[in-house]
Amino acid sequence: MGVDAHASLLDHWGLDDDVNGLDYFANSVIDAAEGLVGLVKPQVSFFERHGSAGFAVLERITHRAKDAGLIVIADAKRGDIGSTMEAYLDAWLGENSHFYADTLTVSPFLGLETSTALMGQHLENGKGITVLVATSNPEGAALQTARTESGESIAAELWGKLEKLNQISSAPGDRFGSFAAVVGATLHFKRFGLELEQSGVKTPILAPGFGAQGAGLRDIRLIFGEASPNVIASVSRSVLEAGKQGLAEAIKRANDELAQGLG
């Protein structure tokens, strides 16, 4: 579940668009998520817009999520080269980070290797990264479907690199690797050149596009086929719009719909 404190959602909840409203909203989402979902995905921009006080809220709620047994995906979409990327990874995944995150969303378009080559100690500490491969926004398609010298689409080439990384970096018996891919649930995968069925260690798929963006959780197997068990189905607005009082029930309904789709 996303922790996406849109100004419009704060207003819908009857909250002020300030750091106090942000704090109440974010903590309410963590409270509702505990025991009902496996992962939460704070969208960093909605905290960052409130400055240092917003980041302080993010620090607190990521550690609260960890203590509640939730896996935390920091949705920051960082991507750079050399020492700059090293600093980003340290900020979000480092042992002494002020934030807590199990994985960080990463933009690969300055070169995937600038992130993966720096992951050594973070992998040993149980961390991972989640790489933008084929995103659900229409504007991304022109770049992600462009062909490389090999004839593959950029999305397919990134997917292949993540598959290889997960095979070589995983321990015997691992079901999933530490390098995940963002693949939108509203996409026509053939257009992107993607074949998502896998053998061996699986590449986890973080799938936005469910709920408010149009894809139905009950259709997950129709959308992802044999890869469905490897999909993290991400929902935000469609659940969060229920408000604090209705949030837990909205999560349960989403879980029921997902179970129907996987059944």
- With CA atoms as reference, report the closest residue to 77 among 222, 182, 195, 198: 182
Q: Are 57 and 19 within 8 A, CB to CB?
A: yes
Give residue 138's pLDDT: 85
190 catalytic residue (yes or no): no
From the list 195, 208, 188, the residue with the least C-alpha distance to 141 is: 188
Pairing relationship of beta strands 231-233 and 205-207 according to DSSP bridges: parallel
Residue 43: strand pairing partners = 75
Segment 18-77, tens digit of pLDDT: 999 999 999 999 999 999 999 999 999 999 999 999 999 999 999 999 999 999 999 999
Domains of the chain, start order: 2-262 (3.20.20.70)
* Among 41, 77, 190, 202, the one annotated catalytic: 77
Quickly state the pLDDT bin for 174 (edges 50, 70, 90): very high
Q: What is the CB neighbour count within 10 angstroms for residue 67?
A: 11
- CA–CA–CA angle 156, 162, 222 (5° rounding): 60
Using one digit for the tens of pLDDT, what is the confidence trace for 190-238?
A: 889 999 988 889 999 999 988 777 889 999 999 999 999 999 999 999 9
pLDDT of residue 172: 87
Give residue 199's pLDDT: 84
The tens digit of pLDDT for each residue in 36-48 reads 999 999 999 999 9
